[in-house]
């Protein structure tokens, strides 16, 4: 909860809008990621009006004023736009898909009211990159998104260990990940079991390697496996539709490139 003291609270802070839905005649339910309070759910009066719709869009960075009259009372929010990501990428389908997936995953998995300053910074960096450089994000931005998903798994307590081989302990020639433990496995360590392991794209353990579209697809499938199993499967939920659409779009791009 934002307010644990039972008294009125007011706070100003930058926030990343991750979810918006109508509430009543002219209001909106707004979910935001903040540095100090983590995920915050609030009510924006007038949020469904013309000015409110432009402000409260997933992907936008907003300077918010949060007000809560007492513990248990609804949080009310007003704000001003700092950076509009959504409007910049409407004509960029892959950049838009990455932004939508990131917002939905953050909203669906992060616990309300728990600070996550490092992850807030990582999310702000990702959305700023997508919005400021949508052309670059369309062409080479997918590794940034995949690394963000791995950061999300880590903050949720399901982080992968890609530092060394789980079998031999070696740090070179890492090529697979155990779908059960989330630990890296080298080619030598995989042995006859390699067909049961998930491919580990080289860009995830060697920052000097940019990777290619097939590598990025493997990376998306890798993080998706653990999101589906740990973040959503434990609650008997499927991966959100926005995340599945992103995967489908990348699969089509890879298939199309292979047919050219």
Q: What is the pLDDT of residues 177-226, one digit of tens each?
A: 999 999 999 999 999 999 999 999 999 988 888 899 999 999 999 999 99
Nearby residues of 22 by Cβ (< 8 Å), 6 or more positions away? 28, 29, 48
Same fold, 11-90 and 94-258: no
Q: What is the pLDDT of residue 49?
A: 86
- Integer Cα distance of 219 and 204 in angstroms: 8
**pLDDT score of 259:** 56
CATH fit for domain 11-90, picks 3.60.15.10, 2.40.50.140, 3.40.50.300, 3.40.50.920? 2.40.50.140
Q: Is the dihedral of CA 124, 23, 156, 145 positive or negative?
A: negative
What are the sequence ranges of the domains in the chain?
11-90, 94-258
Prediction pTM value: 0.93
Packing angle, helices 142-155 and 117-132, rounded to 10: 160
Query: How many angstroms separate the Cα of 1 from the Cα of each of 25, 64, 73, 91, 111?
Result: 26, 17, 10, 38, 10
Q: What are the beta bridge partners of residue 39? A: 33, 112
Residue 5: the pLDDT is 53
Q: What is the pLDDT of residue 85?
A: 87
What is the pLDDT, as a whole number, of residue 8?
A: 60
> What number does CATH give the domain 94-258?
1.20.1440.120
What is the predicted pLDDT for the residue at 16? Answer: 97
Segments of the chain scoring below 70 in pLDDT: 1-8, 258-260
Give me the residues paired with residue 12 across strands: 65
């Amino acid at each position: 909860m934002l307010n644990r003291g039972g008294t009125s609270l007011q706070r100003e802070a930058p926030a990343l809008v991750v979810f918006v839905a109508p509430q009543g005649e002219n209001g909106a339910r707004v979910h935001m990621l903040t540095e100090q309070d983590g995920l915050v759910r609030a009510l924006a009066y007038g949020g469904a009006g013309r000015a409110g719709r432009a402000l409260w869009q997933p992907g936008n960075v907003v300077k918010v004023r949060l007000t809560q009259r007492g513990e248990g009372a609804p949080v009310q929010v007003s704000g001003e736009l700092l950076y509009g990501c959504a409007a910049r990428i409407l004509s960029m389908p892959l950049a838009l898909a990455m932004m939508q997936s990131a917002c939905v995953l953050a909203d669906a998995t992060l616990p309300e009211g728990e600070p996550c300053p490092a992850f807030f910074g990582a999310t702000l960096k990702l959305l700023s990159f997508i919005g400021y450089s949508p052309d670059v994000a369309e062409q080479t931005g997918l590794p940034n998104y995949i690394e963000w998903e791995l950061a999300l798994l880590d903050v949720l307590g399901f982080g992968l260990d890609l530092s060394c081989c789980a079998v031999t302990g070696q740090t070179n020639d890492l090529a697979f990940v155990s779908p059960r433990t989330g630990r890296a496995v080298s080619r030598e360590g995989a042995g006859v079991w390699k067909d049961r392991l998930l491919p580990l794209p080289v860009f995830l353990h060697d920052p000097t390697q940019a990777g290619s579209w097939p590598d990025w697809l493997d990376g998306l499938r890798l993080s998706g496996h653990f999101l589906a199993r740990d973040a959503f499967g434990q609650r008997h939920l499927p991966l959100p539709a926005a995340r599945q659409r992103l995967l489908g779009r990348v699969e089509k791009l890879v298939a199309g490139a292979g047919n050219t």
